[in-house]
Amino acid sequence: INQKGGVGKTTTTVNIGVALARAGHRVLLIDLDPQAHLTLHLGQDPGAGQLGTYELLTGSASFAKARRKAGQNLWLVGSSIDLAGAEVELVSVVGREVILRDLLDQHVGAGRDHHRPQYDYVLIDCPPSLGVLTLNGLCAAGEVFIPLQPHYLALQGLGKLLETISLVN
């Protein structure tokens, strides 16, 4: 995550995800950004009307229905511009910041066998903001990567971002 755009969030997510998949790990990528650049980068059309993160967060689809195969060992829950509306639609929903976490826990738990989990890695690409979408990503995550440009103002923003992560934790 990073509330600043253009710092490499999507590039980092897709490259780490694809590298892990090529190394034989099972990887799920989740595009939480309405710009849908992760979805586009993996060759999917965000305007094709497929189920994705918008439908997950608004309750009209499950992970099993929203995910699609994006390569060997690689699955994607894509995004579209519709996801921008989720910020407004979820304002009055109780527990709106943990929707993704709860759905992901159900999905991963439902596909678990006793020998091997469904995914080795789940990577979430967040939008350049600290709204409901990013909060969902934070609540679902066990670890956070913060791509950062090496200059003074970026470091100022990092302090606020770390405070937010601490609050969510």
**What is the Cα–Cα distance from 132 to 129, expressed in whole angstroms?**
9
**How many angstroms separate the CA atoms of 136 and 115, rounded?**
29
**On the CB side of 49, how many CA atoms lie within 13 Å of its CA?**
0
The three-point CA angle 124-126-127 to 5° equals 160
Q: With bands split at pLDDT 50, 70 and 90, how would you rate the model's confidence at 113?
A: low
**What would the pLDDT profile of 87-101 be if each residue is shown by its tens digit?**
899 989 999 999 999
For residue 169, pLDDT beyond 60:
yes
From start to end of the chain, where are the E strands? 27-31, 67-71, 74-77, 121-125
Give the span between the Cα atoms of 135 and 93, in whole angstroms: 14
* Helix count and strand count (H, E) for the chain: 8, 4
* Average pLDDT over every residue of 44-66: 95
pLDDT at site 156: 84
In whole angstroms, how far apart are CA 156 and each of 148, 151, 159, 169?
11, 9, 6, 21
DSSP string, 83-97: HHHHHHHTTT-TTGG
Enter the tokens of residue 140. Answer: 């679902």
25-29, 66-70, 101-105, 146-150: least confident range: 146-150
HSE-CB for 102 with a 13 A CA cutoff: 9
Confidence category of residue 110, pLDDT binned at 50, 70, 90: low
- The 10s digit of each residue's pLDDT in 124-139 is 999 999 899 999 999 9
Look at the block and give the residue holding tokens 């109780």. Answer: 94
Map tokens 């309750």 to a residue. Answer: 59
- And the tokens for 14? 């897709």
pTM of the model: 0.94
**Can you give the pLDDT at residue 115?**
61
Residue 75 three-state SS: strand
Which tokens hold the place of 103?
A: 């759905």
Percent of the chain with pLDDT over 70: 96
**pLDDT at position 22 over 70:** yes
pLDDT at 109 over 80: no
Give 66-76 pLDDT, tens digit per residue.
Answer: 999 999 999 99
